[in-house]
């Protein structure tokens, strides 16, 4: 088992290993405490691991309850968020009790935002069940729900008290959901670690614990220097500006990781065209994306994508900060004036 300690506004551990779920009750009692634990999960994950976690928590003395919502991005809404708050109140959770997010990015973001708001902040544990949540969304404290106008437009920075990443839980992922996480893993290689990027030439499934720990360490280091995303944390958004636009335009039928993969390839080609990186770097990114059966482009045109980008929360007045590779392992932030977004995106849509 690997332990990675995050020291930001809260200090907490991320535990990564095989079979951690079995010890989740004891670990939560030790680290988080509380009398009651509310498991927040979707209907897919509930079937797989919900009962098991309930009984593990009960064996360790927790009064338990579970809130199960329909799987999918459409549940990451204001409506589900309010129902969840009502549920926590009906179950009489107090501030010293714990909200446990058992699931992927949607679950973690939704449960985390409810944990941040309920009684102005209740204890919060993340148990990621997808690769994407393990390497990215369960760590670093971003929580949110979507609004009609765009993704993650209502949310809070609210760090978990502990993250329990049991790699055994990832064995039931569909190939499509696993690939969503692979896109975020590739992202870490491109933004911060050439050796990690090279290591991805060996299938990620064969080195899961190590890869997750490397990604989480990169994220920990970036978030520690910029918890509230005033500067370098924006590097973690590589591929996300266009990625979020693709998700929005597809009404979320293109999943997050697949959209981010296309967004990274588009940003890479645009960077090569602007002379920010060599064509070889852009091609390496595209090849890695394709080698994991992820998309390296989108059917939406530059006009549609640019318009969708303008509703993204990354817009700062008349510009949007985009992330471009300089080389594998190094990215730069660049402010793109709103009027140039369409041309930049168009240059990234065109093959090199």
SS (H, E, C) 114-139: HHHHHHHCCEEEEEECCHHHHHHHCC
Identify which of residues 257 and 268 has a Cβ nearer to ligand GLY in the complex. Answer: 257
Asked if 140 is part of the footprint of ligand GLY (rule: CB under 6 A), the reply reads yes
Give Cβ neighbours of residue 45 (< 8 Å, ≥ 6 apart): 71, 102, 103, 104, 107, 129
- C-alpha to C-alpha distance for 196 and 193, rounded to whole angstroms: 5
Asked if 88 is part of the footprint of ligand GLY (rule: CB under 6 A), the reply reads no
Identify which of residues 87 and 178 has a Cβ nearer to ligand GLY in the complex. Answer: 178
Residue of the chain from 123, 179, 233, 273 that contacts ligand GLY (CB under 6 A) = 233
Identify which of residues 233 and 273 has a Cβ nearer to ligand GLY in the complex. Answer: 233
Asked if 263 is part of the footprint of ligand GLY (rule: CB under 6 A), the reply reads no
Alpha helix positions (H), the chain: 24-31, 43-45, 51-59, 78-90, 105-117, 131-132, 175-192, 194-199, 208-225, 240-249, 256-273, 279-291, 302-310, 341-349
- C-alpha to C-alpha distance for 324 and 69, rounded to whole angstroms: 37
Place of tokens 């910029």: 226
Binding segment toward ligand GLY, per CB under 6 A, in 32-40, 135-143, 145-153, 309-317 = 135-143
Structure-block tokens of residue 15:
């535990």
Identify which of residues 88 and 216 has a Cβ nearer to ligand GLY in the complex. Answer: 216
Asked if 256 is part of the footprint of ligand GLY (rule: CB under 6 A), the reply reads no
CB of 199 to ligand GLY, least distance (A): 21
Closest residue to ligand GLY, judged by C-beta, is 236
Residue of the chain from 162, 204, 236, 288 that contacts ligand GLY (CB under 6 A) = 236
CB of 260 to ligand GLY, least distance (A): 9
Q: What is the DSSP letter of 229?
A: -
Where along the sequence are the contacts to ligand GLY (CB under 6 A)?
Answer: 136, 140, 142, 233, 236
């Amino acid at each position: 088992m690997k332990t990675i300690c995050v020291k930001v506004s809260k200090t907490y551990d991320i535990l990564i290993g095989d079979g951690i779920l079995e010890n989740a009750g004891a670990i939560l009692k030790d680290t988080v405490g509380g009398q009651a634990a509310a498991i927040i999960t979707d209907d897919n994950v509930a079937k797989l691991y919900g009962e098991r976690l309930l009984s593990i928590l009960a064996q360790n003395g927790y009064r338990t309850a579970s809130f199960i919502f329909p799987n999918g991005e459409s549940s990451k809404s204001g409506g589900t968020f309010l129902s969840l708050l009502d549920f926590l109140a009906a179950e009489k959770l107090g501030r010293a009790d714990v909200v446990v997010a058992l699931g992927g990015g949607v679950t973690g973001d939704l449960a985390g935002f409810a944990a941040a708001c309920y009684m102005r902040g209740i204890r919060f544990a993340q148990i990621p069940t997808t690769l994407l949540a393990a390497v990215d969304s369960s760590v670093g404290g971003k929580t949110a729900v979507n609004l009609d106008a765009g993704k993650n437009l209502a949310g809070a920075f609210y760090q978990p008290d502990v993250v329990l990443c049991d790699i055994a839980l990832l064995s039931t992922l569909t190939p499509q959901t696993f690939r969503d996480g692979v896109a975020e893993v590739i992202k870490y290689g491109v933004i911060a670690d050439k050796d990690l990027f090279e290591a991805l030439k060996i299938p990620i499934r064969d080195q899961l614990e190590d890869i997750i720990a490397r990604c989480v360490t990169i994220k920990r280091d970036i978030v520690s220097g910029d918890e509230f995303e005033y500067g370098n944390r924006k590097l973690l958004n590589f591929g996300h500006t266009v990625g979020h636009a693709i998700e929005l335009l597809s009404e979320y039928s293109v999943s997050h990781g697949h959209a981010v993969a296309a967004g990274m390839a588009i940003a890479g080609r645009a960077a090569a065209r602007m002379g920010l990186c060599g064509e070889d770097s852009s091609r390496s990114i595209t090849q890695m994306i394709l080698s994991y059966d992820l998309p390296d482009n989108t059917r939406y045109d530059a006009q549609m994508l640019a318009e969708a980008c303008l509703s993204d929360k990354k817009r700062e007045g008349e510009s949007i900060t985009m992330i471009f590779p300089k080389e594998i392992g190094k990215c730069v932030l660049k402010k793109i004036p709103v009027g140039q977004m369409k041309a930049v995106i168009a240059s990234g849509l065109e093959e090199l």
